Amino acid sequence: MSRYDYDLFVIGAGSGGIRAARMAAATGIKVTVAEQARTGGTCVNLGCVPKKLYVHATEYGAAFSAATGFGWQATTPAFDWATLRDNKSALLSTSNQAMENMLAKSGAELIRGRARVQTAHSVEIAGTSCSAARILIATGSHPVFPAIPGREHLLSSDQIFDLERLPERILIIGGGYIASEFAGIFNGLGVKVCQLYRGDLFLRGFDTEIREFVAGHMRRKGIDLRFNCDVEKVEKEPDGSYTATLNDGSLLTTDLVLAATGRRPNTSELGLEQVGVELTAAGAVKVDDFYQTSIPSIFALGDVIDRMQLTPVALAEAMTLVKHLYQGGATPLSYQLIPTAVFSNPPFSSVGLSEEEACQRYPQVDIYTTEFRALKHALSGSGDRILIKLIVERNSDRVIGAHMAGEGAAEIIQGVAVALKAGATKAIFDQTVGIHPTSAEEFVTLRTMTRSHNR
């Protein structure tokens, strides 16, 4: 019989924490999960799920406008924000309950409250101390605000889903995927959107050609997208509006200000440093290939280790950890060739290297691109276009990067990612018969090289 109350004590019931708890409990060990908020973490409650629902809302609006070219004669119906917001909330409540049911069915216990690490083998929660053979930190991350006068007037992405009413104007500060996705959402719901980013071009880290393509399309959709621009301060006006003073001295008046300027790991007030768990300068938990911290009995995964803040990555980390600790034979998770998507408008998705990264890593790189209008827009009247791009390492002919911007990008790149993971060459892509007429077939019909790089 174990000398501890639990074999595994998980702090945080987000995607990674729940997956680890369920899988560990399935091996027969005693597991508990501590959570002070709703189960499901950021993804279910404040990220992926509600965000994608709101993206779908914009797609319905666009579809009404496009339908006339296909013979549908109807006026565009009015949009009701409260219906979308409340239906979203009801669905999330159902999801929260479903996750709690899955935990219970697996045999893992759920304890409500804020947990704090006391020692290498003990946790305090709600005034009670529990001992554990191992402790897993899966506490996620939180939004951070810029340090400017008037920061108390800013909203974060955690608050934006449940607005009492839809604003007429919104100012979005930031150039990452969260800022860009909400710019598309609010624009698609009829809000006047201005997005500011302090750098030369937003969506840093993605392929430059894709970023430029997306920026051009966002502007054509009416988003006021400004680069090399930042907010100096925000003031609230007597009528309830806000005035933002920009770094060029100009003023911008808006109804809401959303700050999407990054997220930081939730490691404060957990007792980690007091027991000797090493953190990075940014506050992330330092871990090895199997998510063990500087204290052998304490582990961490997901956003709190700040490797890749993606839900599927946290799930994969959880599976790797449980296999390593309780099933044996685990190999470290590879963070290469992980596909990702940004649900901006237009959306885009990528797997593998960008053109810039490929040129730094390999001496000879070939680029294949195509830009076109999807068949349905021949009748819809929409000016939306699609950009598809393959990056090939010439010596091996291996496809080392695939990118797509436009409708269906995430769904299509998910399949392409399998090919890249399997080491597919450009010749394999060329030998694959496409499905016609689809946008996806362009990945296997790219025959003419756009450009090449040599060094």
Annotated catalytic residue, options 121, 153, 217, 436: 436
Contacts of 429 (CB under 8 A, 6+ apart): 390, 399, 419, 443, 444, 446
CA 303 to chain centre: 11
In this structure, what token pair is assigned to residue 13?
Answer: 């019931």
Contacts of 433 (CB under 8 A, 6+ apart): 444
In this structure, what token pair is assigned to residue 66?
Answer: 């496009």
Contacts of 56 (CB under 8 A, 6+ apart): none
Contacts of 123 (CB under 8 A, 6+ apart): 9, 11, 34, 115, 116, 117, 129, 130, 132, 135
Q: What residue type is assigned to position 113 of the chain?
A: G
**247: number of Cβ within 10 Å:** 12
Active site residue 436: yes
Handedness of CA 425, 430, 435, 440 (dihedral sign): positive
For 34, counting Cβ atoms within 10 Å of its Cβ (0-12 exposed, 13-18 middle, 19+ buried), the class is buried
**What distances in angstroms separate CA 318 from CA 17, 239, 280, 324, one per listed residue?**
7, 49, 21, 10
Query: How many angstroms separate the CA atoms of 96 and 93, rounded?
Result: 5
Which uninterrupted H or E stretch holds 34?
strand 31-35
Contacts of 78 (CB under 8 A, 6+ apart): none
DSSP state of 292: B
Q: Is 318 helix (H, G, I), strand (E, B) or coil?
A: helix
Q: Is 215 helix (H, G, I), strand (E, B) or coil?
A: helix
- What number of CA atoms fall less than 13 Å from residue 425's CA on the CB side? 7
Residues annotated catalytic, as ranges: 436
